[in-house]
Structure 1
Amino acid sequence: MTTNGTPQGKPDVQTLRADIEQTRAELGETVQALAAKADVKARAKEQVEHTKQKVRDQVALATGRAKETATHYGHTVAEQAQGTTERVKRNPVPIAAVAAAAVALVAILVVIRRRR
């Protein structure tokens, strides 16, 4: 018995050719994959680019965190300075006493230096 002009159980020429073409295509893909793995220079370049990008991402993240921290502490320092300014305005005597002591110290140092 025959099916489509071929004996039963035997593939026709077109089927064989299609199988051969498919095998060639698969073999070509396999060869390309092996060639890519064997291309050490290209793989090294890819790894370098990957590492560069990873470092860029980490730098961007660290920069963002540093900016946030600086902003936070900048506001904190400004608030503390404002509080100190208000305390000095309410009670200027301690600041005046420190200033007077500094002037006295400078005067004493000038007198000692002139005696030499």
Structure 2
Amino acid sequence: MAAGPDPRPEPGPDAGIAELQADIEQTRGELGATVGALSDKLDVKARARQAVADAKQNAKSRPAVQVGALLAAGAGIGLVVWLRRRR
């Protein structure tokens, strides 16, 4: 994944100390943000917890899915009981 071109020009060879320091600070900030984003992606436990929280929220917002799953489970159990009694 290639990043786009840098929108800010790098300081030239005749840049002053203030310009160089500003460039260093901006680069540090960008690097910190990149490291933070990579850390978030590599935190498997946090991502799993977030996925569970998202799934719970989706289940709460869509009760029809819960009812459908309950009916499907009931139908499956009923089918197993019916098949065992036929034998």
Q: How high is the TM-score relative to the length of structure 1?
A: 0.44
Could you tell me which runs of 5 or more consecutive residues in structure 2 were left unpaired when the two chains were aligned.
1-12, 68-87
Aligned residue number for residue 19 of structure 2: 15
For 2:42, give the aligned amino acid.
A
Equivalences, count: 56
Higher RCO (Cα < 8 Å, 6 or more apart)? 2
Q: How far apart, CA to CA, are the structure 2 residues paired with 1:27 and 1:59?
A: 43
Which runs of at least 4 in structure 1 moved beyond 6 Å after TM superposition? 60-63
Report % sequence identity. 47
Cα 1:25–1:37 shift into 2, 3 Å: same
RMSD: 2.3
Matches for 1:25-64 after TM superposition, within 5 Å: 25-59=29-63
Q: How high is the TM-score relative to the length of structure 2?
A: 0.58
Render the CA deviation track for 1:53-109: whole Å, top value 9, x for unaligned: 10111117888xxxxxxxxxxxxxxxxxxxxxxxxxxxxxxxxxxxxxxxxxxxxxx
